Every structure is written in structure tokens, then in C-alpha cells.
Structure 1
Amino acid sequence: MRGFEARGDVAVAELDSEERAVVARVIADVGLLLDGESFGMEREQHEDAEEELFRHLRGFEAALSDPEDPAVLRILPNAAPTDREVADEFRRLTEPELRATKVDRLRVMWRALSEDGPEWEVAADQAMATAAALTDVRLVLAARLGLDTDEDAEALHRELEMAERAVATGDASNLAVDPERIWLGMLYQALSWLQESLMTYVMRDDV
């Protein structure tokens, strides 16, 4: 995986076929979380994919079906946490349009990652929308990983470092860490890094 770099009038990242498939799958799952029917066709296209590639997403996908999903509040937070009546009314008035906007952004990313070839191109005028969509995906992953504070994020980072050392030394079988958590944590970090590289592109001086 290579982060976004300016290439002419577009930002370009590079992901191999497995990386593209996994990121596209998670994007589709977050789209399902926001609008259950919008990504149905896309999910069907993954059914024949190699099961091993997506096996650590099983728990992630199952959790998305929960109608009380806490991840929804990460990407569609209450406007007035201390006033339920105001929060419900604000949500009623604004949520449909906000959901539609977020789903549209996710769909653009999904389509780009579903194209053949390693390059993921983002036009300059789509860079901020893409960064916002990546934020939504990262917030859902953060909810799944229980990342509520900076300390939680630091603890995850330590777990990932331990896992990497264990794999490097051939001692992974003795590591008492949930492999699904490690896998999702690595995905979370990779998407964070991609988003940072995209924001570096947005903030570059030669525009």
C-alpha cells in the first residue's frame, strides 16, 4: 500500500488487489449500516471472493445488523445529548439527507476501488469528500474496536506492535490476542494513514 501523492491534477494511492477488496468490502458494510438497501448489489459481488481474505470481517459484519448499533452514533451523533426531545427532532429533520450524503460519498469510494488496477485516483475536487468518507469508515472501526479515548488508541497500538513482533519471531501462536481485533486494528491504522496522506495532498503548497 502506498499513500496518496499528487500526480497531475489528481491524488493517487496504490493498493494491491487484496487491499482493494478488503477496503471496498468495509466501505460497503458501512454503507449498509447507513442505508440497508444501498449496497446490497455490491455485497453480492463479494460472495464468490476467497473466504480467507474476509474471514476476520465476520464479526464486524454481524455487528452491523444490530438496530441499536453504537457505531451509528459515531457517524450520526446526537445534536443535543442532554435534551432527548431536541435531539430526536433535529435527527428527524436532518438525518435522511445526512445519511444520503454519507452513502453517496461511500459509493464513490467503493466504485473507485472496484476498478481494475492498483491505482486509486481521487480528483482534487473530491479529496475532501473522500477524506470525510474515510472518517466515517474509521469511526465505525473505532466503535468496533472500543476506541473511546486516546489511551484506548495507544493500547491498540501496543497490541499491534506486540503482534508484529510475535509474527516476526515466529511466536504468534502463543500470543493471547484476538486475531480479529488485530486484523481490524491494522485496517484502522492503514485507513488512518491513507487519510493523513490525502489530507497532506489537500494542504500541499503547490496548488
Structure 2
Amino acid sequence: MTGFARHRRSGRVIATFSGFEADLLRSLASQLVELLRDQAAAPTEVADPLEAMFDFSGPVTEPDDPVLARLFPTAYPDDPEAAADFRRYTEQGLRHGKAEAACAIIDTLEEAGLPTDTFEDGLMIDVELTPEEAEVWMRSFTDLRLALATRLGIEEDDEERWAALPDDDPRSQAHDIYEWVGYLQETIVGALSR
């Protein structure tokens, strides 16, 4: 994997993934979608489309899951009433947007040739994104990194702790995935800024 780059002529953001890398990225995005959708508040049935547009029956308390709490932090920690109102009006839409961004990664990888069941050794997946699609991927990479960091307990300036783990430690391998998603995010940001 060489990361993302901007094609000089077309202006598209491109990358080539091995089959393993593409499958890993799809798996991460799928897990994020599952978390966002499974723990979402059950939507209420609204018959009137205008009423549905103004349905603000979302959650009012911080999610129990630490990843969701990190993805949807309390907006007003010193004002529980304002925090509840803000969450009620925004969280469902934010969940939907984050899930759709992760689905865009899955769809793009599969459209580029990643099989939905098994793949053969040596498979390479070429991804070409418009700048707008690349921004969606970039936002989803942020969500994936926050989810991984929360699950792994990664904190600022704790690189030495992770570097001291043996290579065969599953936590070290998971941290490598976190770093890899960070690399993808960094290269996509660089490609978009050119």
C-alpha cells in the first residue's frame, strides 16, 4: 500500500490496496456501521413527511458504549438540559452521516473489485475517488481511528508503551492497524491539499 495520491490530470484521489488491506478496511468500516446502527435509538414511525423532517425524538443521554461516547461527546458538560436538547436534535443525523460514510468505503471497495466472499492471493484493488468522495473517506478514517483508540486505550504520548509490546502481542497488531488507518488518513489529507 502506497497511500493516497492525487492524479495530476484527472484530479481524482487514487490508491491501490492489496486484497488483504481492502478486506481489512471493509471489515473495520462494517464494524463501525454495525455499532452505529445497532445502538441507534429506534426510529419512530411518522406518517407525515413534514412531521418526519422535524422529528427530534433522538436520545437525550450520553451513550453507554465508550466508542459511541467518544464519537458523540456531550456538547455542554456543565449544562445537562442543554446537552440533552443538543443530543436530541443532532445525534440521529450524525449517526446516519457517520454510518453512510463508512458504507461509502465498503461500497467503493466492492465496486472496485473486492469480492464479497473470498479473494485470491495477489488481488489488487484500485480505488479512484472524486475529491468529494475522498473527503467522505477522510471523515470516516477519523471515526475509525477514534473507535480503535477508544477500544485499545490509546492515549496521547503513549507511543513507548505500544513500541514495547512484542510483535506477536494481539494488542500490538491492533495498534499497527490503528497506525495504518492514520497513515491512510494522512495521505488522503495530503492528496486533497494538492
What's the % identity of the aligned pairs? 29
Most deviating of 76-85 and 104-113: 76-85
- Greater helix percent: which structure? 1
> Is there any run of 5+ residues in structure 1 with no aligned partner, and where?
39-66, 164-171, 173-178
In structure 2, what is the Cα distance between the partners aligned to 1:138 and 1:183?
Answer: 14
Of 155, 158, 161 in structure 2, the residue corresponding to residue 155 of structure 1 is 161
SS class of match (2:87): helix
Instruction: Quote the residue 1:24 is aligned against.
Output: 26
- Report how far residue 126 of structure 1 moved: 1.9
TM-score by length of 2: 0.75
Corresponding residue number in structure 1 for 2:64: 68
- In structure 2, what is the equivalent of residue 168 of structure 1? none
Letter matched to residue 151 of structure 2: R
* Distance in 1 between residues matched to 2:25 and 2:164, nearest whole Å: 22
Indicate how the Cα distance of structure 1 residues 79 and 27 shifts in structure 2: closer, same or farther if over 3 A, else same: same
Which segment drifts farther, 73-82 or 99-108?
A: 73-82
Q: 1:154 to 1:195 in 2, by over 3 A?
A: farther
1:135 corresponding residue in structure 2: 142
Return the letter of the residue paired with 1:194: L
Name the counterpart of 1:87.
83
Give the TM-score normalised by the residue count of structure 1. 0.71
Larger Rg, first or second structure (1 or 2): 2
- In structure 2, what is the Cα distance between the partners aligned to 1:152 and 1:74? 19
**In structure 2, C-alpha distance between the alignment counterparts of 1:74 and 1:37, rounded to whole Å:** 14
- Alignment partner of 1:78: what SS? coil
Paired with 1:28 and 1:138, the residues of 2 have a C-alpha distance of: 14
Distance 1:99 1:153, change over 3 A: farther
User: For residues 160 and 129 of structure 2, what CA distance do their matches in structure 1 show?
Assistant: 30
Counterpart for residue 58 of structure 1:
none
Pair 74,37 (structure 1): closer, same or farther in 2 beyond 3 Å = closer
Runs of 5+ consecutive residues of structure 2 not aligned to the other structure: 41-62, 114-123
- Look up the match of 1:5: 5
- What code does the residue aligned with 2:99 have? V
Structure 1 position 125 matched with structure 2 position 162: no
Please report the RMSD computed on the Cα atoms of aligned residues, expressed in angstroms: 2.0
Between stretches 137-146 and 81-90, larger displacement belongs to: 81-90
* Corresponding residue pairs, total: 159
Correspondence for 2:177? 187
SS in 1 for 2:78: coil
Q: How far does residue 105 in structure 1 lie from its aligned partner after superposition? A: 0.8
After TM superposition, the structure 1 stretch with the greater mean CA deviation from structure 2, 5-14 or 17-26, is 5-14
Matched residue of 2:75: which SS?
coil
* Separation in 2, partners of 1:123, 1:102: 19
